[in-house]
Amino acid sequence: MRSTEHIGVIGAGIVGLALARRLTLQRPGVRVTVLEKEDRVAAHQTGHNSGVVHAGLYYRPGSLKATLCRRGVGLLRDYCAEHGLPYQEAGKVLVAVDAHDRARLEDIERRAEDNGVPGVVRLGPRGLRDVEPHASGLAALHSPTTAITDFVAVAEQLADDVRRSGGRVLLRTPVIGLRQDQDGVDALTGTPEGERRIHRFDRLVVCGGLHSDELARMAGAAPDPRTVPFRGHYHELVPERRHLVRGLVYPVPDPRYPFLGVHLTRHVHGEVMAGPNAVLAAAREGYRGRDLVPRELAETLAWPGFWRLARRHWTMGAREVLVSSSRAVFARQARRLVPEISAADLRPAESGVRAQALGRDGGLLDDFRVDTHGRVVCVRNAPSPAATSSLAIAEFLADHHVPGR
């Protein structure tokens, strides 16, 4: 047995890097290696999200999402201040546009209180206009501490911290196989040039995002849940119309779905994004509508949970496809929140892909999920607010799922 413990992390997104940093700081002398298949950190979900630091308004009290989001906000705010990274409390309004929305605001307000979200207040139409002069609704909830940041910059800083603490971040190092025995875990990596290498670890943590279920199966985990990719299509407001949105303008979420629908988000660099909607992607990294990986699409379509989900929510799916295919329809959705927005105010922006865990029964997993299989810990579901919660998720994983020797 090696005298020095060696822990591996698969995935250099914000969650994997936060965990690697936590381990190097918490356990001096432990070797930590991050394996990342891309040529840069934060290449996928971390680098394609909205940049919102969520306050924890509508997560189920007591859930991992609620607990780790609230803890993560404070840790992230302090981390950004320590390293001079952007962090702006832009504030968010949840806008009720009809009576059903207004009734749901009451439940969200209770959840926000239970979760300890500070400063949340109910607004009427006039109060909404005071916060967001161009928004319109019957009522709203205002969360003044909801913030925005640059999660790519945060991830790059985390990677620097790992390296300075003696850890390694190996880029262009895709994992193509895993094998466990009683003493450790072997991760087989391969390159496009055909080079193969075995990395030996005492423990391994999978933070694989869009490929988390594939990596979990390599570790011997069950195929349930399956990671299904949903592409989120964004537009952005043209520069001369950015003044229509001061901070973050969101619809009231429908509790039946994990997707919020079109909302408006100011970024720390000044852009104002509209979106995303959510449509099935034909590839795990299908950022464009034409992106297709037949094997990956076939795996999704062969999963019984997908067809159970489709039967249950086919009307929502059809609506999302329509919104994605038409800028005019996209603008109509945004106009429900800010009536002055027209199709001419929007231009296409980069899309993101959400890694959503889907059970065999057709249920979309709502909470974070972590499974352990021998010496391999698998993060099976970590959608939003995972970026907000990343430093708290790292604490949770290190303290509860990655025991020392």
Tell me, yes or no, whether 157 and 52 share the same domain: yes
Q: 13-29 pLDDT, tens per residue?
A: 999 999 999 999 999 88
In a shared domain, residues 186 and 299: no
Nearest to 188 by CA among 298, 35, 294: 35
- DSSP-assigned states of every residue in 328-384: HHHHHHHHTTSTT--GGGEEE---EEEEEEE-TTSPBP-S-EEEEETTEEEEEE--T
* pLDDT for position 275: 83
Q: How far is CA 56 from CA 86, 242, 288, 386, in A?
A: 20, 26, 30, 11
Cα dihedral 49/55/56/62 (nearest 10): 120
Same domain, yes or no, for 24 and 168? Answer: yes
Task: Give Dmax (Cα) for the chain.
Answer: 68
Distance CA 108, CA 397 (A): 28
Neighbours of 356 (CB within 10 A): 20
Helix residue ranges, H only, 84-149: 99-114, 125-131
Q: What is the CATH number of the domain that holds 79?
A: 3.50.50.60
| Domain-ending residue, one of 103, 127, 144 | 144
- The reply to whether 159 and 247 lie within a common domain is no
163/26 same-domain check: yes
253 and 354 share a domain? yes
275 and 175 in one domain?
no
* Planar angle of CA 75, 77, 82, nearest 5 degrees: 90
Full residue range of the structural domain in which residue 116 is found: 92-144
Half-sphere exposure for 155 (CA within 13 Å, toward CB): 26
Verify cis geometry, omega within 30 degrees of 0, for the bond prior to 225: yes
DSSP letter at 209 equals G
Pair 39, 100 in one domain: no
Does one domain contain both 248 and 312? yes
Overall domain count for the chain: 3
The pLDDT of residue 322 is 59
What is the C-alpha separation between 227 and 357, in angstroms, rounded? 4
CATH number at residue 322: 3.30.9
Q: What does the pLDDT read at residue 1?
A: 45
7 and 24 together in one domain: yes
Q: Do residues 33 and 150 share a domain?
A: yes
Query: How does strand 203-206 pair with strand 376-381?
Result: parallel
Residue ending a domain, choose from 364, 381, 397: 364
Rounded to an integer, what distance in angstroms lies between the CA atom of residue 370 and that of residue 389? 14
The whole-number pLDDT of residue 281 equals: 92
Of 144, 163, 180, the one marking the end of a domain is 144
| CB of 354 closer than 8 Å to CB of 229 | yes
- The ranges of the chain with pLDDT < 50 are 1
CB atoms within 10 A of CB 348: 12
* pTM of the full structure: 0.94
Is-contact 90 248, C-beta < 8 A? Answer: yes
293 backbone dihedrals φ, ψ, rounded to 5°:
-120, 105
Contact 47, 152 (CB under 8 A): yes
Q: What is the pLDDT of residue 312?
A: 82
Shared-domain flag, residues 109 and 30: no
- Quote the pLDDT of residue 55: 97
What's CA 293's distance to the chain center, in Å? 22
Strand order, beta sheet including 139-143:
121-123, 139-143, 92-96, 248-251, 263-266, 272-275, 235-237, 346-348
| C-alpha 77, offset from chain centre | 18
